Amino acid sequence: MARVRATRPQPATLIPGDGIGPEVIAAAVLAIEAAGGRIVWDVQKAGKASFDESGTPIPDSLIRSIRRTRVGLKGPLETQVGRVGYRSVNVALRKTFDLYANVRPIRTLPGVRSAFSGVDLIVVRENTEDVYSGIEHQIAPGVVEAVKVITARASRRIARYAFELARRERRRRVTAIHKANIMKLSDGLFLACARQVGKLHRRIKYDELIVDNACMQLVLRPQEFDFLLLVNLYGDIVSDLCSGLVGGLGLVPGANVGDRCAIFEAVHGTAPDIAGKGVANPLAAIFSGIMLLRHVGQTAPANRLERAAHRLLAERRVLTPDLGGKATTKKMTERLIALL
């Protein structure tokens, strides 16, 4: 009998997060373990949970943990709107660990009722600059300026990452999305870098689309897209739009990737309207966990868990309300584990 080489347990930082975060992250941890994933979790608080306890949304222990494990699974964190409160922890984590690529696979899933079938695209978003630098100031009463920063270095880096990922995933076409007709210098620079990198990947077709037109085309014919490359702000908006194409926020996972660390998280936010009610869909967090398992080379449990999740969706018996069912997060997770 062939000897099976035991995988060494992988240390990983676990951030339960705010709102529905702790509910869906607990489900993901159970599912990963049941599928045979070998992860040693280092649980860390961040965001509101940490701010209320220690006065800081990003404690040093969290930074140390991610530096050590270099991989994390994160629940959504509350971001305060307007002038008050601390700056976005999500943005700060991306900056601290230089997680420059945000990756979201958007796929039609079995059994999920949505407007389209046959959607299968990957969205890659530059994660460190654009208007997310948070440089805003009032230049006169009633006049506020926000700065959009685009550099050749970050644009080339994300383009290289995107084309490399497209090649690994056997994608045939990368579409860069922009507004260079208006932001000629900034989006123009981003496009120039994407074109330059694209020329090195002759087997992948490269094209460009203005963001407003891209949104219209995506809601009409999403099946025609293969791989999208965007600057930070358009990426934020367009990737949520893409989640809607395949059944909503409760299903789409994501990764924030840098050269040293990667943090995996669902696309959805804290969902305050359903937090604490035990009805959040855990699958986006679980699919993010599957991405984490693949990232650390634990492919067998990742595949097992993905197959079970597809079966769970296809049988349409035990689903949370966002998918048209009546089940709780707990019941849906138990059914998923039973299907492993």
For residue 268, state whether it binds ligand ATP (rule: CB under 6 A). yes
State the nearest-atom distance from the C-beta of 215 to ligand ATP, in Å: 19
**Distance from C-alpha of 134 to C-alpha of 184, rounded to nearest angstrom:** 21
* Cβ proximity to ligand ATP, 284 vs 290, nearer residue: 284
* Cβ proximity to ligand ATP, 42 vs 265, nearer residue: 265
Residue from the set 69, 281, 288, 298 that interacts with ligand ATP by CB under 6 A = 281
Residue window 66-85: x/- pattern of binding to ligand ATP, with contact defined by CB under 6 A = ----------x-x-------
Residue from the set 284, 308, 312, 332 that interacts with ligand ATP by CB under 6 A = 284
Task: Clarify whether 331 is annotated catalytic.
Answer: no
β-pairing, 227-230 vs 253-257, is unpaired
For residue 126, state whether it binds ligand ATP (rule: CB under 6 A). no
**Catalytic residue selected from 48, 74, 95, 179:** 179
For residue 269, state whether it binds ligand ATP (rule: CB under 6 A). yes
For residue 322, state whether it binds ligand ATP (rule: CB under 6 A). yes
For residue 10, state whether it binds ligand ATP (rule: CB under 6 A). no
State the nearest-atom distance from the C-beta of 270 to ligand ATP, in Å: 4
Task: Clarify whether 132 is annotated catalytic.
Answer: yes
Nearest by Cα to 174 from 108, 123, 237: 123
What would the two tokens of residue 57 be? 């949304």
Rounded to the nearest 10 degrees, the angle between the axes of helix 299-315 and helix 329-338 is: 120
**Distance from C-alpha of 292 to C-alpha of 212, rounded to nearest angstrom:** 33
β-pairing, 10-15 vs 71-74, is parallel
For residue 25, state whether it binds ligand ATP (rule: CB under 6 A). no
Residue from the set 274, 286, 291, 292 that interacts with ligand ATP by CB under 6 A = 274
Task: Clarify whether 52 is annotated catalytic.
Answer: no
State the nearest-atom distance from the C-beta of 244 to ligand ATP, in Å: 10
State the nearest-atom distance from the C-beta of 152 to ligand ATP, in Å: 32
**Side-chain half-sphere exposure of 76, counting CA atoms within 13 A:** 24
Nearest by Cα to 107 from 329, 313, 333: 313
**Residues in contact with ligand ATP, total (CB under 6 A)?**
17
Which of the ranges 157-165, 202-210, 215-223, 272-280 carries the binding residues for ligand ATP, by CB under 6 A?
272-280
For residue 23, state whether it binds ligand ATP (rule: CB under 6 A). no
For residue 102, state whether it binds ligand ATP (rule: CB under 6 A). no
Please list, in sequence order, all residues whose beta carbon lies within 8 angstroms of the beta carbon of residue 173, skipping any fewer than 6 positions away: 204, 205, 206, 207, 225, 226, 227
Which of the ranges 134-142, 149-157, 253-261, 265-273 carries the binding residues for ligand ATP, by CB under 6 A?
265-273
Token pair 């601290």 is found at 96
State the nearest-atom distance from the C-beta of 64 to ligand ATP, in Å: 26
What would the two tokens of residue 141 be? 């009463």
Residue from the set 113, 138, 140, 273 that interacts with ligand ATP by CB under 6 A = 273
Please list, in sequence order, all residues whose beta carbon lies within 8 angstroms of the beta carbon of residue 152, skipping any fewer than 6 positions away: 189, 192, 193
CA dihedral of residues 314, 279, 49, 63 (deg, nearest 10): 0
DSSP string, 155-219: HHHHHHHHHHHHHHTT--EEEEEE-TTTSTTHHHHHHHHHHHHHTT-TTSEEEEEEHHHHHHHHH
State the nearest-atom distance from the C-beta of 180 to ligand ATP, in Å: 29
Residue 62 contacts residue 71 (beta carbons within 8 Å): no
**Catalytic residue selected from 212, 259, 277, 326:** 212
Please report, as ranges, the residues that interact with ligand ATP according to CB under 6 A: 20, 24, 76, 78, 249-250, 268-274, 280-281, 284, 322
Instruction: Give catalytic residues, as residue numbers.
Output: 132, 179, 212, 236
